[in-house]
Amino acid sequence: MTKTFDLSHVCFQGRPAAGFRALARRGASRPFSPSRTTILSDEPATGFVAWIIRRAGLNPSLYRAAPLLRRLPALLRMLKVRSAEDAQELLQNRPDLLPKAINSLLIGVTEFFRDAAVFEGLRAEVLPALAARGRPIRVWSAGCSTGEELYSLAILLAEAGLLASAFLLGTDCRAEAIEQARWAVYNAGHLEAATVKKYFGPCGNSWQVIEPLRRQTHWKVADVGQSIEEGPWDIVLWRNMAIYVNPGPAESIWNRLAGAVAPDGYLIVGKAERPPSGLGLAPACRCIYRRVDRIVASYQDEECA
């Protein structure tokens, strides 16, 4: 489950939390009853989903409709309205609610060290291979959500003595998710006590990633469906996103991501995902693919369908 955090009581290094309180305000155009939340028909629902994605500056044709429609009831409950039509009317009148609405629709499922076997493969196989090359390690997490995945890898790099020279970038299309990743305040209760003690400090009722890890991580609002961060990257993480993308755009993204991976670099994917053949990627260990050739189609000028 993706974690949600009440940040209204936290002051981040002297920065007031008013922005988070403003984003948390809820509104409604009429009385709301959770039991009466309805989607009147597929057509207006689909039209509303496309409308809200466009309002966020994203391309609706990138996403599969079915997963987004499954999220629609949760979005309506969050907005306290009964239908897609009511939701669109509310958001037109209350554009300040749009970031929360986008977060509810494009919810990013993430947690620290999600799928432990993948991070064990990174620790035992990938990082030693990259360290042997004797150069700084560059990592890009595409669709990083609220940052737990990239900070997990930063912890592995720190444990291996490789963090100080590394460059880590996280990108996500949701500005609110990037804001939370940048401030790095989480509920770390499920992590081992030794990890929390070494890599987190108390922050209100939550925990903040320590400054040396935050210093090596960089964050940017960007949509992987529209642009690829300039490589080469030693590690690219694109996990549990391809399953939400239409086949045509997904193939284009796979191709461009493979092109951004350095020779003998690694692409990390989700458990239910597999890169297309012909990209010069070979399985290395669980959910981890190594780039084994340099013949990958150029991605610089390619547009996502």
- CATH code of residue 160: 3.40.50.150
Which band of pLDDT confidence, cut at 50, 70 and 90, is reported for residue 189? Answer: confident
Domain limits for position 51? 18-105
Q: pTM of the prediction?
A: 0.76
Whole-angstrom distance, CA of residue 238 vs CA of residue 253: 10
pLDDT for position 56: 79
Does residue 235 share a domain with residue 211? yes
Does residue 213 share a domain with residue 153? yes
pLDDT in tens, 79-121: 999 999 999 999 999 988 988 888 888 766 788 999 999 999 9
Task: Give SS3 for 200.
Answer: strand
Contact indicator for 150, 144 with CB cutoff of 8 Å:
yes
Asked, for residue 140, whether it belongs to a domain, the answer is yes
Does residue 268 share a domain with residue 124? yes
Does residue 93 share a domain with residue 126? no
Whole-angstrom distance, CA of residue 238 vs CA of residue 242: 8
pLDDT in tens, 200-256: 999 988 999 999 999 999 999 999 988 899 989 999 999 988 888 889 999 999 999
Does residue 122 share a domain with residue 93? no
Contact indicator for 287, 269 with CB cutoff of 8 Å:
yes
Task: Compute CA 24 distance to the chain's CA centroid, rounded to the nearest angstrom.
Answer: 20
Does residue 101 share a domain with residue 120? no
